[in-house]
């Protein structure tokens, strides 16, 4: 399932709930629209998920259908959908440091982390120099406020979770991530050496999906992080997606397992990292 379709399915599910409420009340879409003072097509668009209802729309809908008590739950659902898809510019408009700090409570309460990266080295495994190079690129591309030094400090502080508490981490990266120079070759060499070191931590499992690996269903997908079985965060080019629907979380869990099956671990993973270092001279 693509990230954008996750949001659309959530909108459609809300629309279906509103349609069921209307049908249970015995009202036609036309009668509801007339009572609300809307164009008839508005009801159809809301029910199909093409238009997101406002909170006022939901209150009006439930009141006309005789179930005003259901408004609060439906409004909460709508707010959750609205928060699923957050543009990076909106998330980072006050600077990168705040975006980094916003996930700290989530990291602290999560026990099992599963992270797949098809773009860069996972944040929890990054060196300060590599993180600085990544964030400098973000500042340049998205014209966000330049608070890179503060943001690097927050991310380095966040990495304490690797060494404290009852946490387990499973990381999967595509081999091309190891060979993509971000910053300078020296920055990447330092980063790759750090990967070898951190992969020895008892709480960490690091898998590398080799270039040329035979793929069945384990195709490269958008980078994502799973926090227990409670939430998935997906990184898109333009936005950040939060998924909390159990059925969708199960899909990401299955995808992670499929990718893990074609990855190499332990000595084989370290060999690929060493090969990438040697390729840099």
Closest by CA position to 144, among listed 93, 90, 207, 195: 93
Q: In this prediction, what percent of the chain has a pLDDT beyond 90? A: 55
Main-chain dihedrals φ then ψ at residue 209, nearest 5 degrees: -90, 110
pLDDT score, position 143: 58
**Residues 162-188 pLDDT 10s:** 998 889 999 999 999 999 999 999 999
Give mean pLDDT, residues 80-85.
64
Determine the Cα–Cα distance for residues 137 and 212; give it in Å rounded to an integer. Answer: 28
| 62 and 21 Cβ atoms separated by less than 8 Å | yes
The least confident of 65-69, 162-166, 277-281 is 162-166
The least confident of 99-103, 159-163, 224-228 is 99-103
Give mean pLDDT, residues 76-103.
58
Domains of the chain, with CATH numbers? 3-84 (1.10.260.40), 92-279 (3.30.870.10)
**Residues 111-138 pLDDT 10s:** 999 999 998 999 999 999 999 998 887 7
The least confident of 53-57, 66-70, 137-141 is 137-141
pLDDT score, position 236: 62
Q: In this prediction, what percent of the chain has a pLDDT beyond 70? A: 83
State the Cα angle at 233 between 113 and 88, rounded to 5°: 135
Closest by CA position to 273, among listed 202, 224, 215, 208: 208
Check pLDDT > 60 for residue 249: yes
| 222 and 235 Cβ atoms separated by less than 8 Å | yes
pLDDT score, position 35: 95
Give mean pLDDT, residues 241-266.
88
The mean predicted confidence, pLDDT, of the chain is 85
Determine the Cα–Cα distance for residues 61 and 25; give it in Å rounded to an integer. Answer: 11
């Amino acid at each position: 399932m693509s990230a954008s379709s996750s949001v659309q399915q959530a909108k459609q599910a809300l629309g279906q709930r509103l349609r069921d409420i209307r049908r249970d009340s015995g009202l036609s879409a036309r009668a509801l629209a007339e009572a609300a003072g809307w164009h008839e097509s508005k009801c159809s668009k809301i029910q199909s998920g093409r238009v997101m209802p406002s909170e006022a729309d939901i209150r009006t809908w439930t009141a006309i259908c005789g179930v005003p008590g259901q408004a609060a739950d439906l409004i909460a659902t709508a707010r959750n959908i609205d928060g699923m898809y957050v543009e990076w510019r909106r998330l980072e408009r006050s600077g990168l440091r705040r975006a980094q700090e916003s996930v700290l409570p989530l990291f602290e309460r999560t026990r099992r982390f599963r992270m797949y990266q098809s773009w860069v080295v996972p944040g929890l495994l990054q060196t300060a120099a590599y993180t600085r190079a990544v964030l400098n690129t973000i500042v340049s591309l998205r014209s966000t406020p330049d608070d890179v030094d503060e943001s690097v400090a927050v991310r380095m502080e966040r990495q304490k979770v690797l060494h404290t508490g009852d946490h387990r981490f499973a990381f999967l990266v595509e081999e091309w991530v190891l060979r993509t120079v971000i910053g300078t070759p020296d920055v990447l060499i330092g980063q790759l050496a750090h990967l070898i070191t951190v992969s020895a931590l008892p709480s960490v499992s690091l898998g590398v999906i080799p270039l040329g690996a035979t793929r069945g269903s384990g195709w490269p997908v958008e980078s994502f992080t799973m926090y227990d079985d409670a939430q998935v965060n997906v990184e898109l080019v333009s936005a950040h997606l939060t998924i909390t629907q159990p059925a969708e979380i199960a899909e990401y869990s299955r995808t992670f397992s499929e990718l893990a099956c074609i990855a190499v671990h332990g000595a084989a993973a370290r060999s690929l990292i060493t090969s990438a270092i040697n390729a840099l001279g």
